[in-house]
Amino acid sequence: MISLHTSPLDQPGTGDAGGMNVYVIELSRRLAAQGIAVDVFTRATSSELPPVVEAFDGVHVRHIAAGPFEGLTKGELPGQLCAFAREVLRAEASQPQGHYDVVHSHYWLSGQVGALARDRWGVPLVHTMHTMAKVKNEALAVGDTPEPLARVIGEEQVVEASDLLIANTDLEAKQLIDLYAADPHRVEVVHPGVDLSVFRPHDKAVVRRELGLPEDAIVLMFAGRIQPLKAPDVLLRAVSVLLDRDPSLRSRLVVPIVGGPSGSGLEHPESLAQLSAELDLDDVVRFVPPVAQPELARWCAAATAVAVPSFNESFGLVAVEAQATGTPVVAAAVGGLTTVVADGRSGLLVPTHDAHDWADALRRLIDDPALAARLGAGALEQARDFSWERTAERTLEAYHAARTLMRDEMSV
């Protein structure tokens, strides 16, 4: 596997680490459990990192030196593709011939390196986009920066070079075909999963006490990277509307924001805190640094609802993880969230990013405990449809399909 711009060992929720990090490490772990040895190549971001880390039995993360260890933004990484690719090829050259059977790249930067490795090693390239520039640019958040033309061209090249593309949802598959002219026969839909042993129901009263939350609080939570694309400001503005309509809620309302700045949010890391102050929400908003998965599961289980107001999500792992704890999700009706959240059964989908519409949806859960309980039960049921074991099985099938497609192409 190639995950150039972010390591699967990084803490999700800040910088460039997010759902893709979870995807790569959890998929690798489940493939290894099926007897598949996995090497994950990623760019080293510190001189103190060892060259190789055994993340799990059968999963090795290989840190590749390419460019300065610190200070490079994701937008500057294309300049290091050649250096990174050279070191990946060198690493393979030290192994017996035919050491790798498949290259699975993640995000377009990795796909560029994967295409070179494919041709050099004579093995199929399987690629997962995770996000796409054309999709993101069609639904930009206010204040967000459009993806550059260089990325668009790079993604088109990766789509053309890949033997098989793995899409997270049917919608993403359609976007690959419609926007990138992908061959429909070379696109497979494989849903990501959730670790149901970590994300599971907890006694809400107990976890609230442990997290310092009042047992009778209304807890409206956001978890993820703080950047315009993820739109945590939508939740804050909706909470402001709720309090304007009913000031009595203030004494019971708690709004945890779990995560750190990322992407264009790095330019103004304090902007969300400033917005909280401007909206007079400092007494209800709690900023929580990124936490490990078990701790995130406890926060989700403690919440009345988890808000996912993103402008776009290829899938929406946080929504699945929250549902697996039995907490309903209020999500934007965009991208993969329309697959992950069953509207009216496991949560509520909001068709806009208007603060009043979001306040309406949140108020439904606040005013109707029976509805919240029913959606919570539905959330548990919905999450059971997503497991990393199933993801690994379907991905392994995709690898076999990619090898067949490559052999057929070479025989023509």
Q: 328 in a domain, yes or no?
A: yes
Where is the binding site for Mg(2+), in residues? 303, 327
pLDDT of 266 > 60? The answer is: no
Q: What pLDDT shows up at residue 15?
A: 65
Give pLDDT tens digits for 195-221.
Answer: 999 999 999 999 999 999 999 999 999
Higher-pLDDT residue of 15 and 3 is 3
Domain containing 324 equals 204-385
| Same domain (yes/no): 214, 329 | yes
pLDDT of 364 > 50? The answer is: yes
pLDDT of 28 > 90? The answer is: yes
Q: Judge if pTM exceeds 0.85.
A: yes
Q: 113 in a domain, yes or no?
A: yes
Q: 198 in a domain, yes or no?
A: no
| Same domain (yes/no): 269, 339 | yes
Q: What pLDDT shows up at residue 26?
A: 95
Q: What percent of the chain has pLDDT over 70?
A: 96
Where is the binding site for 1D-myo-inositol 3-phosphate, in residues? 5, 16-21, 74, 107, 131, 151
| Same domain (yes/no): 405, 314 | no
| Same domain (yes/no): 360, 216 | yes
Query: Three-state SS string across 195-248, please?
Result: CCCCCCCCCHHHHHHHCCCCCCCEEEEEECCECHHHCHHHHHHHHHHHHHHCHH
Q: What pLDDT shows up at residue 412?
A: 67
| Same domain (yes/no): 166, 208 | no
| Same domain (yes/no): 56, 160 | yes
| Same domain (yes/no): 175, 108 | yes
Where is the binding site, in residues? 5, 11-12, 16-21, 74, 107, 131, 151, 225, 230, 291, 303, 313, 321, 327
| Same domain (yes/no): 12, 97 | yes
CATH code: domain of residue 320: 3.40.50.2000
pLDDT averaged over the chain?
93
Give the residue among 236, 247, 269, 271 at the shortest CA–CA distance from 355: 236
Q: What pLDDT shows up at residue 264?
A: 44
| Same domain (yes/no): 214, 342 | yes
Give the residue among 219, 199, 200 at the shortest CA–CA distance from 211: 219
- What angle is formed at CA 77 by the lines to CA 175 and CA 114, rounded to 5 degrees? 60
Number of domains in the chain: 2
Give pLDDT tens digits for 175-200.
Answer: 999 999 999 999 999 999 999 999 99
| Same domain (yes/no): 347, 361 | yes
Q: What pLDDT shows up at residue 267?
A: 42
Q: What pLDDT shows up at residue 115?
A: 97
227: pLDDT confidence band, cut at 50, 70 and 90?
Answer: confident
SS3 128: strand
pLDDT of 263 > 60? The answer is: no
Where is the binding site for UDP-N-acetyl-alpha-D-glucosamine, in residues? 11-12, 19, 225, 230, 291, 313, 321
